[in-house]
Structure 1
Amino acid sequence: MQVIHTAMEQNNSVAGVLINGMNIDESTIRRLCTDAVFERGQRYHNEGRIQRIERFNDIVTAVVRGSSHYDVVVELGANTIDARCTCPCDGPEECKHVVAVVLDIAADPPRDESEQVEPLLQTVSADDLRAFVRDVLAEQPDLREQFVSRFGSAGKSVDDYRAEIEQLFDRHTQEYPVVTDAIDFSQFFEVATHYRERERYLEAATVYRALFEEIDDNEHRIDAAYDHYASALQSALDGYVECVLAATLEQDEFETYIGVLEEQARAAHPPNSEQFHRAIDDLEDRR
């Protein structure tokens, strides 16, 4: 306990950094989590488990070494800290990996790389910028999908998305026949969000459908991080319902979309059956 206390005193000597009008200090960080998680995050920070940390404007990305390597994203708002981590923790408060990263920000804020990039964006030619984007998109399929969802006119089919998600499950079962960690589905949720922001609700619904169908169909391969997968499934169902309701659908089209849920409910694994039936009731009640 004395070691932790001393480390906190050291952190306090450099804490209190002001970013986007928000003072990030010990009290700010403690509000993100329980006391026990704060101490574990503090220990991770002091042990040097942050493998990489970078900042672009108000977004900080980091890799934290725990039982595995976890990706952490922290968005620093005017009065809020929004964070996500690829670890299995799905509680209402932030995990120790996020706490470790925010402690690192408070102790020694990473250099804002947007200060170097923004001037270049003002001077680089349109042709050179297109060539750069083309090269990056050719090598980064995840970015390519986000690019299409933000600027394109049509998305992939549900089968295409399902094949990509199935590949994630396959990669996580190469050594064992079951998934023992939390698969990161954030890239798919981000694609769906881009479509929703552009009011392309049916394209977003397609992404959500692929997510809940694949998670449910792979239930037999999940042997850990149950809260993570239940939460991801529920988020996909909630997104699907909201998008179907937001889209302008004739009654027969609406029945097709609710039929997707009904079919999955009939085939759903027992732990997920109730979630599908609640989504059906939600759609019917709010139609």
Structure 2
Amino acid sequence: MDVTEEMVRGVCTDAVFERGERYLTEGRVREIHRVDTTVTAVVSGSRQYDVRVDLATDGFAPRCDCPYDGLGACKHVVAVLLRCVDDPPTDDGDRLDAALNGTDVDELRAFLREELVTDANLRDRFLARVGASTRRSVDELRTSIDRRFEEQNPEYDVVFEPSDFTQWFNLANEYREQGQYASAATVYRALVESLDDNMERVDGAYDHFSSAFSRALDGYVDCVTAAERNADAVTDAVAFLEERVTSGTPFLAEHFEKAAVELREKLGEQSDE
């Protein structure tokens, strides 16, 4: 679809639009690529920021790993969208399809396996896509999520900027789409625990981390409810939420308490059916 300046203005404030215009003029949009309607780019600011937008989605479904937590899209996203208005990147979708169609199946299989061997995140997504349940525990998943906090500011124990948890939310969503609700619940629980335990380290971008926490907690409750679990597993889920009310971050206690009540109510409704 064609992107217009009016459409871009509709997803940001006037002040952010002006900053995005300036970023584009200054040549800060780099490494821009497009496949079908998905555009990815690197935008140079105080550091290099990864941006992704979907030109076919209402509001463009923008994603940027910058610390912006104001209204609408950030200046980095706006700069990329304005680049799509003035000088749209070439769509590599047809080229990619042609390459895939022209590749020998065994060669493609060998390439995919080679990538899956060395990329644990891709391997998890692939196995989820083909319907395999996760073999990773909550603690194992937490290790990689906790590392994301440590990578943000390795010299201090304080986190000033948002962390990108997209890969775990995408993994959980992949499990949900395949009906693997227990596996999705495992991923969500790892996110919930990590966010809860690291929240007191956060000193900025509170809306970002609070939103990620709420999304993970809601996903956990939904997937525990949807999964075919035995009584012990259900009891464990409720106990986990209730335990976090007293042991977790104080200002998140109310969220855990409400989630525990919601889970008990949903499971009660299921038992009455």
Cα distance per residue 1:18-56 (max 9 Å; x no partner): x2xxx4111111111111111111111111111221111
Q: Counterpart in 2 of 1:204?
A: 184
Q: CA deviation at 1:102?
A: 0.7
Paired amino acid for 1:158: V
The match for 1:100 is: 79
Residue matched to 1:7:
none
Q: State the partner residue of 1:63.
A: 42
The equivalent residue for 1:5 is none
2:8 equivalent to 1:38:
no
Identity %: 45
Preserved contact between residue 90 and residue 231 of structure 1 (Cα < 8 Å): no
* 4+ aligned runs moved over 6 Å, structure 1: none
Match of 1:237 in 2: 217
The letter for the 1-side match of 2:179 is E
- The match for 1:176 among 156, 160, 177 is 156
Compute the TM-score of the two structures, normalised by the length of structure 1: 0.87
> Partner of 2:99 in structure 1?
120
Q: Which of the residues 198, 220, 223 maps onto 1:218?
A: 198
Matched residues in 2 for 1:284 and 1:46: separation? 55
Paired with 2:196 and 2:58, the residues of 1 have a C-alpha distance of 37
- In structure 2, relative to structure 1, the CA distance for the partners of 1:99 and 1:209 (3 Å cut) is same
2:110 and 2:101 mapped to 1: Cα distance?
A: 16
Q: Work out whether 1:89 is the aligned partner of 2:68.
A: yes
CA shift digits 1:59-91 (9 cap, x unpaired): 111111222222111112265522111122344
For residue 144 of structure 1, the aligned residue among 123, 126, 136 is 123
Give the SS at the match of 1:112: coil
Aligned-residue offset at 1:171:
2.1
Structure 1: where are the runs of 5+ without partners?
1-18
d(CA) in 1 for partners of 2:168 and 2:266? 26
The range that moved more, 258-267 or 193-202, is: 258-267
CA positional deviation for 1:221: 2.1
Equivalent-residue separation in structure 2 for 1:92 and 1:208 (angstroms): 27
Partner of 2:109: 130
**Partner SS state of residue 55, structure 1:** strand
Kindly report the root-mean-square deviation, in angstroms, between the aligned alpha carbons of the 2 structures. Answer: 1.7
Match of 1:284 in 2: 264
Q: Is the 8 A contact 2:117 2:123 kept in 1?
A: yes
1:194–1:91 Cα change, 3 Å: farther
Inter-partner Cα distance in structure 1 for 2:24 and 2:123: 34
Structure-to-structure mapping, 1:13-52, within 5 angstroms: 19=1, 23-52=2-31
TM-score of the aligned structures, taking structure 2 as reference length: 0.91
Q: Deviations over 1:100-132 (max 9, x none)?
A: 111111111111112111012112111100111
Mapped to 1, the partners of 2:57 and 2:132 lie a distance apart of 34
Equivalenced residues, count: 266
Structure 2: runs of 5 or more not aligned:
268-273
